[in-house]
Structure 1
């Protein structure tokens, strides 16, 4: 794998984890409707 691809993948996972922690209290119904 290219270092760039690995970096992008790691960044995506980190960003997703941050969003999950922030929106942990809110229900995921908004994602389903969208």
Structure 2
């Protein structure tokens, strides 16, 4: 078993970071 493709890995990391960013924004700025 080798390392996962950098492309897929980067995409997953990007999606995860974007998801965390959205959550942080919602927590910091709750919709009023």
TM, length-normalised to structure 1: 0.66
Within 5 A, what are the aligned runs for 1:23-34?
A: 23-24=26-27, 26=30
* Runs of 5+ unmatched residues, structure 1: 28-34
Runs of 4+ in 1 over 2 A off after TM superposition: none
> Normalising by structure 2, what TM-score?
0.69
* CA deviation map 1:1-34 (0-9, x unaligned): 110000000000000000000112537xxxxxxx
CA RMSD of aligned residues (A): 1.5
> How many pairs are equivalent?
27
